[in-house]
Amino acid sequence: MGHRGYLSILGVLFAILAVALAINPVDRADWLLENALVAGFLLVAVLTHRHFSFSRLSATLIFLFLCLHEVGSHYTYSLVPYDAWFKALTGTTFNELVGWERNNYDRVVHFSYGLLLAYPLREIFLRVVNVRGFWGYFLPLDVMMSTSMLYELVEWGAAMAFGGELGLAYLGTQGDVWDAHKDMALASTGALIAMATTVAINMALQRDFASEWADSFRVKNNRPVGEAAVISMWRRHRPD
C-alpha cells in the first residue's frame, strides 16, 4: 500500500469514528468546545497536505490521539465509562484494580498527548526547521510542555467565560485543585518517554549520532545578534 493510500485509510476511519461519536453526545456544547481545536488542526492539515505530509508512523500516532480525544468529547472526559466497559469484560472495575478514586480518562489523554504527539512534532522540526542533534529531541519536548501549559490556560479561560455546568464540564477538574498541574506533568512525562525512546533507537541505529549531536552544540554564526543586529539593520535602512 502506498503512503497516500495509507493516510487516506486513516482519514476515512477517523471520519467514521468522529461522525459516530458526534451523534447524541452527553453534552453538545462541551462537544463543540472540545472539537474546536481538532477542527482547526484538520483544516491546517488539509490546506498544507500538498506541501507537507506526515510519515506513516507520525500519522498513526496522530490518528490514535484524535480517536482518544473523540471518545472523551462524546462523553465529556470526566464521564467516559471505561470502568463500566472494563467491568463488563472482567467482572471488576479498572479503578478498583489500580486503586484510582476518580475518573482518570482525562489524565490518560493528557499523558497520550505527550506520548503520541511529540514524535510528529519532531518530524516537523526536522523537515521544516531543519534542526539536528540535541535540538531535534529537546525542542519537541519543550513545545509539548509549553502547549500543555497553554491548553490549561485556555481551559481556565473558557471555564471563566462560559461558567456554569458547561465551564465545569470543559474544565473537568473533578474537585482536584492540582488537576492542571497533574495534567501538565503527565503530558510532559509522555513526551519525555517518546523522545527518550527516539534517542535510544537513533543511538543504536544512526551511525553519525554522536557527531550530529556534538555538531548541534557548535556555534554556526559568530556574528552577534540582538542590539548589534538591530543597529546594523537600522543603519542599512535609515533614510539618507
Please spell the DSSP secondary structure of 202-238, one letter per residue.
HHHH-TTHHHHHHHTTS-S--S--THHHHHHHHHHHS
pTM across the whole model: 0.88
The DSSP secondary-structure symbol of 54 reads -
Q: d(Cα 239, Cα 232) in Å, to the nearest integer?
A: 14
pLDDT tens digits along 169-224: 555 556 666 778 888 999 999 999 999 999 999 999 999 999 999 999 999 888 77
Averages of pLDDT over each 10 residues, the chain, 240 residues: 90 96 92 90 90 94 97 92 91 89 90 97 95 96 94 78 60 66 92 98 94 92 78 75
Amino acid residing at 86: F
Q: Which three cell numbers stand for residue 223?
A: 556574528
**In the prediction, which pLDDT does 171 show?**
56
**In the prediction, which pLDDT does 162 show?**
67
